[in-house]
Structure formats: C-alpha cells, structure tokens
Chain A
Amino acid sequence: MEQLNNIGASLDFYIFVSIALFSIGAIGVLTRKNMIVLLMCIELMLNAVNLLLVTFSTFFGNGEAQIFVFFIIVVAAAEATIGLSILIMAYRNSKSIDIEMFNKLNG
C-alpha cells in the first residue's frame, strides 16, 4: 500500500493563506508611516511568497523550490541589514522615522 501523507488541508487553503498574508503586507506598506514597520511588512510579504513556494514544492514533490526559498531568505537577510542601516542614518539626520518626511525627491 502506498504510503500517503496528509498535509492537513486542501491546496486551496494554503494558497488562500499566502495570498491573504501578502495582501495584509501590502496594506501595511500602504498605511503605516513608520519606516521600521514598513520594513516588517515587506518581510511579511516575502514570507507569504515563501509559503506559497513551499506549498507547491510539497504538492509536486520537487525540492528545488525549497532551494529557492532558501535563497529568498538569504536575500531578505541582506536586505533587512541594509534597510535598517539606511534607516539609522536617515534617523540620525532628520530625527524622524516618518516616511512622509523623506519627500525631497519630488518633481
């Protein structure tokens, strides 16, 4: 008898969860004015994508998508580091972490 593994829920549900997380992240990016929270929302969106990748990887039994997730984590770590250090420098200069304060590049 073929051994089967119940992944616990339907594929629809995982897709639904990951899209919901992604949209929540997007709403966060659009609403929040705090730059740190902004960065966190971006991390949330990245994780939503990771979740979708892992779901499909399991579904199709292909491990290469998980390698992709691994590299996404790597890039996210680098991105968070750089983003936070830019944030610190910006804060030092303007004593604010309000994203609306940084509109010097307007037309």
Chain B
Amino acid sequence: MGKDLLLLTLISLPLIGAAINGVFGKRMPKFFVGTLATLMVFTSFLLGLTLFRGLDKTTIVHLFQVAKFDDFTLDANFQLDSLSIWMTLIITGIGSLIHLFSMGYMSHDEGYHKFFTYLNLFIFSMLLLVLGSNYFVLFFGWEGVGICSYLLIGFHYNDAEKGIANSLAARKAFIMNRIGDVGLLFALFMMLNKFHTLEFVEIGKMITASPELYTGIACAITLCLFLAATGKSAQIPLFTWLPDAMAGPTPVSALIHAATMVTAGIYLIVRSNFLFELAPTTKDIILVIGIATTVVAAFIAMRQNDIKKVLAYSTVSQLGLMFVALGMGAYTVALFHVTTHAFFKALLFLGSGSVIHAMSDEQDIRKMGGLSKLTPITHITFLIGTLAIAGFPFLSGFFSKDEILAHAWMSSPVIYGFLMIAVTMTAIYMFRLYFLVFHGSFRGGEKLKSHVHESGLSMTIPLMVLAVLSVFGGILNLPGIVFHNAGHWMSHFLESTTYGLNQIETEHMDGNQSIILMCIASVVALSVMTWAYITYVKKQAVAKEDADMNAWEKLSSNKLYIDELYQTIFVQPILWLSTTLASQFEQRVLNNGIFRLTSAIEASGNYTRKWQSGFLSSYLFWMVMGIIGFISYYIIKSTFWN
C-alpha cells in the first residue's frame, strides 16, 4: 500500500468502527462491540507505526476539494510529517489502551455501544485534527472533538442521583469551548483574507519569504489562535470547564480531558509556530497565562477532596506548564511534556477509575484509605504515576519537566521561581492524594470495604502498559549530558520534517547548570514525598472538614471562587437580561405587535377564501373576465403608446 492509502485507512478505521457500532451496536453482544472498537483504534495505531517507520519527508495527501472560491479553495488534505505522526501515535496508542480499559469499566453500563461509538468518533475527529494539512480540516476535527467531548461529559445525562448535573457540566464545557472556537474562526478568516490559503506549509512559505510583511497580522492571528487554545486546553480564563468535565465516565476523562483533546491547543500552537515566531507579544501573553494557570490550578488542587477533581486541576496545571514552554518558544519541549503527560496522566486517571470502580462509584478521598492491600496492581501503577508527575528522578515526568525548567532558567530566574512553586505544589497534592487513598485505614465503613476488589484484566493491562511507559518515557528525549548521541532524540525527530520547527534554533543547556537544576528538582520531589508520608501516614491526618480550615485552605477548597466570580460577572447579567426581555419585550412587542399582524392576516385569509366558491361557472366567468382584461390591456397599450 502506498503511504497515502495507508494514511486514509488509518483515519477512516475509527469512523468505520463508530458507524458499525452506532448502527448495529444495540443488537450486537457487548464483547463484540468493545472488541471491534478497540481493534479499530489499535489497527490505526499499527498503521501509524508503519508510517512512522517509513517517514522521510513531509507528504501531503489530497483527498478531495470541498469548495472552490474566486481566490482560494478549501481542500480535504492530509499532511504526513513528524509532528502529525507523533500526535497520531499518542492518540491511537493511548486511545487503544483506554478503549481496552473501557471494556471492563463500562461493562455494567446500558449505553455500552453508544459509549464506544462516541469514543471511536472522538478518535476519528482527533485524527482529522492532527493529520489535516490545513486549518480547515483542523477546524473540522476541532469541532468534532468538541462535540464528542460534550456528548461524553453528559454521557449519563439522566443520572438517578445527580439529576441533570452531568448535562449542565457538558453544557458548560460546550459553551466555554465555543468562546474559544470563535477565536479559531476569526483566525481562519484573517488568514484567508491575508494569505488566500489555509495550508500550513503554504502559509509558512509565504511568511518565510517575506516576514516583515506579516508582523502586524501575525499578532492578531496568533492572539485569536491562542484564544482558541485557551478554550480547548483549559487555560485562564476559560479553564473552569475542565474540572466540571469530570462528570463524564473516567475513561473519557483519561482519554479526552487529560491525554489527547486538551493538548489540541498545544498542537495548534506548535503547528502554527511560524506565525507565533513573528509575534513576540503573543508569546509573552502565552507565557504569563501559562504561569498563572499552572500556579493557580496547582493551588486549587491542593485542597480538593474528589479524586478526579484533584487530577483535573493537576491536568490544568500541567497544561499551563506546557504553555509556558510554548511561550518561551520551546515547541518540542512542550510536545515532549505532552507525550509524557499523556502517559502518566492517562495512567493516573485510569488508576482513579479503577479505584472508583472498586469503591462502587465513591469518589471522595475522605472515605478511602488503605487500598494498597485491597487493590495491589492499581496501587503500584498509581504510585508510579504519582512519582512520574511529581518529578521523581529518572521517571518520565522528571525529564520533561526538567526541560521546561531548564528553559525557564535560561530565560529568567523569576519564571523559574514561579514554576518551582507550581512543581512543589504538584508534588504536594499528588502525594496527599496517593497517601490518602492507598495508605492509612479504610474510612468508608465495613460494608463498603467488603465490596472492594481488584479490577479485571482488561482494566489492569492498560494500567501496567501505561506504568511502563511512564517510567521509561523519558528516554525519548534525554537531556544529552550522559548519552550525547541519544540525547534529544524526540526534539530532533520533530524538527526533522515539521515545517517551521526545522528552522528554529533550539538551545540546549550546558552540562553543569543542567545537573544542578536536576538536583534541585529531585531534592524538592523527595522532600515533599517525605513530608507527605509523615503527615498523612505517620500522623494519620485526614482531609479536614470545611469548618476547620484556615483562610488559605478555604480559598483552595472553594477553587478560588472563580466559578462564583464568573457566575456574578457573566451569567447573572445575561440571565437578568433574558428574563427581562422575556417578560417585558416579548409581552409588549411580540404579543401586541406580531400577534395582531398574524390575526389580521388570518382574517384576510378567512375573507378571501370565500372567493373559491366551488362553482365552476363563477370560475369560468372570472376567467373570461381575465381574458377580456388582458386583451383590453394590449389594445389600449398598442393604441395609445405606439
């Protein structure tokens, strides 16, 4: 098979899976539905591996022309280069593991086939997003993942206990994402206006040819693109939807809201690197927003008591870290963190899913504890995930964070200081979570304890695979102190064929400074771990009740009151406006104006319908009258106007 055919097969397989499951899923046995969906994604992964091995240059695959206008065309094109194939591998690889996990996790659910339809559809949309060779296809994928995210957050839309809370969370995510999408749409319009094309490579070439022409517009475009990225990747000010999105089933949180979809914003910026390189102002804004997000989210995560909320805020914080890297122009570093984050955050979410499954859908960590003996495999893998995200030496998260910290140190010690605060807080909340869940004594009561059990193989295998990846993921991009040849393999790979990235000079740090920074990070991680062990295991400290908290803890526990703030600033005025309009405007203008108009029309119709008497002779009479009228008209016309 040629490369293009291989690529198209890769993209269409999940769509075929979604179609089959969507149409016939209800009548097929559950095992078949799950296996089909998983196999589709896994086959895509294998095809992706084949393409990855054969990758030598940027290839554009033309599928068909969508629309043709005077000065531009919209094409369904796909682009094969190191960036897109790397994202494809992450999406399909992690995706197939999570599909496998879902087969066990969702086994008792009624909407089993629906769930796998949505998941496959999501994978398809995500592949469109990362494989498209122009912003048009990317936009399609962007909206596709948005709708899948919406559907999956509100998957249990008629939950018996929570009522419509899930639907409200889905709605919130949807609206927040739409705000960002407006930015993307405007960026597209501006690009069409300026470049008359949406192809990445062509825009890149135009900019490289004469950069000075485009500095102004690049700033506007990149700001719009960044607005889109803040929506999709949950950055300040649009980040509040992501914690609420945890209403969805846990595999969804792992796949969409941790590993893949939320990194679409980062992908977008890396893909548009040539534009961002022209707009230093935007990059500074990204840097500031990234730092603010990572610190704020880490702060909130420290006093959350819902196991998934902690991980959600942790995701926001880690995404902020990636944006910091983007703001410093270290695109490959950001992608390295995307990769390792996909490994360990998917692992943590699946681990939490396994815990929730074991605890019969209990998510409050105050009711857990001592699960290490009851669920040994989940415990070990969750520990590995915790160590990886906390930056324990030589695990994957250590290397990727270290790269970002090193770039921060090189650009400014202040940024480094802020990031170290965030990293420390990350270690604190992750170890707090880990110790509260897996150590100490069980706090959920004897009845619940008797139900706790280790999950089945389909759930533990993905956990183990992801744990291995979390441990060794750092090998992809070693700092290059020890192994000079193997160092920065992933950066070099991404730079090899991605347009724009291959023209940016990447600085790498010299040995001594790098080693010092690594040591600091290791010391922080280890000391926090020790502190957390003493606090939560030796002293048996449990998360406090609301009344006992001091001001800072309350602030963290209440998520900095950001939801309330948005409620007051945006939601209440709009609600007030609509209720006022409904009671005043509608009553007065619509009822008195439009309804009167309709009744007048109705009355006239009632009158004129009597003309249709049903008597043939009266029709004929009017017909003859019409003929007479016509002929008279022409007679008069020819007599007087000739």
Q: Do chains A and B touch in the complex (CB under 8 A)?
A: yes
Interface residues, chain A, CB within 8 Å of chain B?
A: 26, 29-31, 33, 99-100, 102-107
Residues on B with C-beta less than 8 A from A106 are 612-615
Contact of A99 with B610 at beta-carbon distance under 8 Å, contacts A26-B624, A30-B621, A30-B624 already known = no
Tell me if B620 and A107 are in contact (CB < 8 A): no
Closest chain-B Cβ to A54's Cβ sits at a distance in Å of 22
21 cross-chain CB contacts under 8 A: A26-B624, A29-B617, A29-B620, A30-B620, A30-B621, A30-B624, A31-B617, A33-B617, A99-B615, A99-B616, A100-B615, A100-B617, A102-B616, A103-B613, A103-B614, A104-B614, A106-B612, A107-B609, A107-B611, A107-B612, A107-B614
Query: Interface on B for A, CB 8 Å cutoff?
Result: 609-617, 620-621, 624
CB-defined contacts of A102 to chain B, threshold 8 Å: 614, 616
Nearest CB to that of A99 among chain B residues?
Answer: B616
Residue in A closest to B624 when the chains form the complex, CB atoms: A26
Give the contacting residue for A105; candidates B614, B617, B620, B624; CB below 8 A: B614
- Chain B's nearest CB lies how many Å from the CB of A59? 22
A30–B610 Cα distance when bound, in Å, is: 20
Q: Closest Cβ of chain A: how far from B627's Cβ, in Å?
A: 9
What is the minimal beta-carbon distance from A61 to any residue of chain B, in angstroms?
A: 27
Residues of A within 8 A of B611 (CB): 107
Cα A29 to Cα B624 with chains together (Å): 10
Contacts A29-B617, A102-B614 given; 10 further ones with Cβ under 8 A? A26-B624, A31-B617, A99-B616, A99-B617, A102-B616, A103-B613, A103-B615, A103-B616, A106-B615, A107-B609
Which residue on A lies nearest to B617, using beta carbons?
A30
Give chain B residues whose Cβ lies under 8 Å from the Cβ of A99: 615-617
Q: Which of A31, A33, A100, A105 contacts B612 (CB 8 A)?
A: A105
Chain B, Cβ-Cβ closest to A106: B614
A106→B611 CA distance, assembly (Å)? 8
Of all chain A residues, which has the CB nearest B612? A107
Least Cβ–Cβ distance between A22 and chain B, in angstroms: 11
Chain B residues, Cβ within 8 Å of A26:
624
Bound complex: CA of A15 vs CA of B620, how far in Å? Answer: 24
A29's nearest neighbour on chain B, judged by CB, is B620
Residues of chain B lying within 8 A (CB to CB) of residue A105: 612, 614
- In the complex, the chain A residue whose C-beta lies closest to that of B609 is A107
Question: Are the CB atoms of B615 and A107 closer together than 8 Å?
Answer: no
A51, B610: Cα distance in complex, Å: 39
Q: How far is the CA of A94 from the CA of B189 in the complex (A)?
A: 69
* B98 CB to nearest A CB, Å: 65
